[in-house]
Amino acid sequence: MTENQMTAWKAFRGGLWDEIPVLRLMLGLCPTMAVTTSVKGGLTMGLSVVFVLICSNVVVSMMRNLLKPHLRIMMFTLTIAAFVTIADMYLKAFQPVMSEKLGAYIPLIIVNCIIICRSEACAAKNGIWVSAVDGLAMGLGFTIVLCFLASIREILSTGCITFSETAVWTVLNPVDKGGWFTPWAAMAMPVGAFITLGLTLGAVNQLTKKKA
């Protein structure tokens, strides 16, 4: 039992720092760059991924002894597709605005490499409990990275973080509201996505190199 808890703890820490999805494993880049124009979009995406990751990890872990090797990727993707459909329908019903904004990127969670990587590397080898913790930690790690990148981009491109019409947190006072900060439009465009991610990766490399 203690050993089991150890591995669960290891999985938890792994997801949040040692193997934090986007920055260390270099997986799941497409949604990372596409949805990080706003923090709210990043958060919605991250939480959907948490849900899909936990569910698919648990299901894959339950059927791990029944899988034939050459069919396993197929079974993984089908499991994931089923849960993504659920998440997509939930968002369409309860968060229609967000669902509209994220558009094709919610169904694209199916081909998010992180999820299939966790099915293969963790859920197909471990018990249900460890897999669920791993899913939670990896999902949270992904959400944190998304929110971090999104806050950089949203602050630089608009000067404030907008959660809704009323909840706007102004960080840099933009010019059109009488402030001094000229919004940096490029940050909301693809250029901003690529360059922010590239520099963040560089910074993480630099930090971890010093520690080692």
Applying CB under 8 A, the residues found at the interface with other proteins are 26-27, 29-31, 33-34, 73-74, 77-78, 81-82, 84-85, 88-89, 103-104, 107-108, 110-113, 116, 186, 189-195, 197-199, 201-203, 205-206, 209
Report in angstroms how near the CB of residue 169 gets to other proteins at its nearest: 26
Q: Which is nearer to other proteins, 39 or 84 (CB)?
A: 84
- Residue 206 CB contacts under 8 Å (≥ 6 apart), including other chains: none
Q: Which is nearer to other proteins, 179 or 202 (CB)?
A: 202
162: phi then psi, degrees, rounded to nearest 5: -105, 120
Report in angstroms how near the CB of residue 143 gets to other proteins at its nearest: 18
Report in angstroms how near the CB of residue 79 gets to other proteins at its nearest: 10
Q: What is the rounded distance in angstroms from the CA atom of residue 143 to the CA atom of residue 43?
A: 6
Q: Which is nearer to other proteins, 166 or 209 (CB)?
A: 209
Residue 169: its H or E element: strand 168-170
CA distances from 127 to 19, 28, 58, 64, 133 (A): 20, 24, 8, 9, 10
DSSP 8-state secondary structure symbol assigned to residue 68:
-
- Which residue type occupies 180? W
Cβ pair 142, 28 in contact under 8 A: yes
Q: Which is nearer to other proteins, 111 or 128 (CB)?
A: 111
Q: What is the rounded distance in angstroms from the CA atom of residue 133 to the CA atom of residue 10?
A: 10
Q: What is the rounded distance in angstroms from the CA atom of residue 5 to the CA atom of residue 123?
A: 16
Q: Which is nearer to other proteins, 8 or 79 (CB)?
A: 79
Report in angstroms how near the CB of residue 105 gets to other proteins at its nearest: 9
Q: What is the rounded distance in angstroms from the CA atom of residue 129 to the CA atom of residue 134?
A: 9
Report in angstroms how near the CB of residue 99 gets to other proteins at its nearest: 12
Report in angstroms how near the CB of residue 136 gets to other proteins at its nearest: 22
Q: Which is nearer to other proteins, 85 or 162 (CB)?
A: 85
